[in-house]
Amino acid sequence: MPSEVRHLVDRGQSFPLVRLTGVLDAESAGPVRSTLLDVLAGQPEAVVVDVGGLRVPRHETLSVLREVRDATRDWPATRLALCCAEDGNGTAWESTGWPIWPDRDGAFASLGRPDAGRRVSLDLEPVVGAARRARELITETCLRWELSEVAGDACIVATEMVNNVVAHARTPMSVLLARHGETVSVAVRDGSPVLPRFTGPVAPTAYGGRGLLLIDAVAARWGRLALSGGKVVWAHLNP
């Protein structure tokens, strides 16, 4: 009988709580990864994962949690907490690199109180004018954050990302903007699984292909994250 991990996402807490139950093995690791990445793609400030109901016959399969942590280290830079993890030798869960807490209360207490004002989002349809709305959100938010010096580059990044969705993915999208200290991240999530490829400078006579070149030129770093239902393209910008 194939193994299965069931998940329940509770968004009624201060941060999303993901409860995993079942057997984690080579077959169920993929769906676990997809579940966690889908929650993280919403750019929450933090996520708590309760693994009290998860059985792990082979400790090697815990590498999926380490992979999720590594894939999202730069974006969305969400704080992670693992709770109710028990293991006979006390080291298997530590190999994931996640902070570990004996119970949910301790995990949530360690994360503190949310600061929703540092993360904003905007849902858009793939239509003409979508990039303009994204720029308006970014300009207004950066002024409120007193980071107006970042607004210009952030608008360039958002324009290229949004126009790419309008021209190619043609799916609804979400623009995600976050403040990380004195830096800002811009991300766009869409429903297409096709990941952008950056091959460096294009020929002067080439038609198109300059969007990622612009993003690469103004961003401190950027990347993409494959999801089961699409992707996220993100960029970090310094003042």
Give the domain CATH number at 191.
3.30.565.10
65, 80: one domain: yes
Assessment of whether the complete model's pTM goes beyond 0.85: yes
Pair (142, 217) in one structural domain: yes
71 and 165 in a single domain? The answer is no
Please give the sequence-ordered ranges of beta strands (E in DSSP) within 56-163, or none if there are none.
Answer: 79-83, 100-101, 119-124
Residues 26 and 139 in one domain: no
Instruction: Classify strands 119-124 and 100-101 as parallel, antiparallel or unpaired.
Output: unpaired
Domain boundary among 67, 90, 111: 111
DSSP 182: T
Could you tell me where the beta strands, DSSP code E, fall in 106-205?
Answer: 119-124, 173-180, 183-190
Tens of pLDDT, residue by residue, the chain (239 residues):
567 899 999 999 999 999 999 999 999 999 999 999 999 999 999 999 999 999 999 999 999 999 999 999 999 999 999 999 876 555 789 999 999 999 999 999 999 999 878 999 999 999 999 999 999 999 999 999 999 999 999 999 999 999 999 999 999 999 999 999 889 999 999 999 998 876 555 434 333 455 788 899 999 999 999 999 999 999 999 98
Whether residues 95 and 144 share a domain: the answer is: no
- Verify cis geometry, omega within 30 degrees of 0, for the bond prior to 31: no
Domain boundary among 59, 83, 111: 111
Which of 147, 160, 81 minimizes the C-alpha distance to 120?
147
Which of 88, 111, 134 terminates a domain? The answer is 111
State both tokens at 222.
């950027």
* Structural domain count of the chain: 2
User: 233 lies in which domain range?
Assistant: 116-237
Sheet holding 230-237, edge to edge: 119-124, 173-180, 183-190, 230-237, 221-227
Q: Are both 132 and 89 inside the same structural domain?
A: no
Q: Do both 137 and 203 map to the same domain?
A: yes
Q: How far apart are CA 121 and CA 29, in angstroms?
A: 30
Residues 106, 124, single domain; the answer is: no
Maximum C-alpha span of the chain: 63
Residues 10 and 92 both lie in one domain: yes
Is the same domain home to 120 and 232?
A: yes
Whether 154 and 136 share a structural domain = yes
